[in-house]
Amino acid sequence: MRISTSWAQQTAVNSILDQQSKLQKTQMQLSTGKKLLTPADDPAAAARSLDLNQGIKQTEQYQSNINAARQRLSLEEGVLQNATEVLHRIRELGVQGLNATNSPSDRVIIATEMEALNDHLLGLANTKNANGEYLFSGFKSTTQAFSKNTVSGGYAYAGDANQRTLQIGENRQIADGDPGTNVFGTPVNSTLPAAGANANIFEAIGRFAADLRSNTPNSASLDDVASALDKMLTVEASVGARLNALDSQEGVNTDAILNMKTVLSATEDLDYAEAISKFNLQTVSLQAAQQAFTQVKKLSLFNYL
């Protein structure tokens, strides 16, 4: 079989181009630190890398949600601690006001302090977070939660009964707040109800103070305050449990991210020692192909005519 000069030269050129292509790919791997430059390099590994990257981003979003929920719940916890201290003081004043040794003027003084504490409690119920959202308005976070009717003496709730939940794990959600009615009770939204019938703490305190002013205190009002305090302590315990759950889930997410990044690194990161060794071998191969081409060029018959 005859082998033409042009065929031999083309074969040598193809060999050089092939070696240059391999060398260029290795150079790109060394510069990027990745062994997968295109999905075609390893389709299965490329798909696995895509899934891992998506999983990492999703879990990082869970971590962001945890931080947001922690900020909101920590603020709520602080408000509830303050509110329980106020209620403890109001209960002390109530016990003092029920004492038969008090004169009418003494009870007016007690009622005045009780009303001031009630106003402070109302302010706590209308606390805003750093984003300007009302903490206890449910989904209606731009609407003030509670207001007082200065004419009738009653109170109104303008929020709703919903709880916003945030995804903090693949199969885990958590409420980042509580509606005001769960914490402070639902107001009648009219004149103050009679003692012993107050589900809303502001109305219970308002009735207690009004009865003290009229020198007709009712022990049922003290029961209303105690009941409201128990409800608030229950919510406070729930908030603390949710904060603990956030800390626990944050640790789980951190471990998951670390594990996925480790697998991702093993999937797509370059082994530099192996790559440098391959680069050196490919450089030698390219030089050999170039030298071979030089020798092939000398085999033409025209060189001997």
**Would you tell me how many other CB atoms lie within 10 Å of the CB of residue 203?**
28
CATH annotation of 53-261? 1.20.1330.10
Tell me the pLDDT of the chain (305 aa) as tens digits.
455 555 555 665 666 666 665 656 666 665 666 666 566 666 777 778 888 889 999 999 999 999 999 999 999 999 999 999 999 999 999 999 999 899 999 999 999 999 999 999 999 999 999 889 999 999 999 999 999 988 878 899 999 999 999 999 999 999 999 999 999 999 986 677 778 777 789 999 999 999 999 999 999 999 999 999 999 999 999 999 999 999 999 999 999 999 998 887 777 666 556 656 665 665 666 566 566 556 655 555 555 55
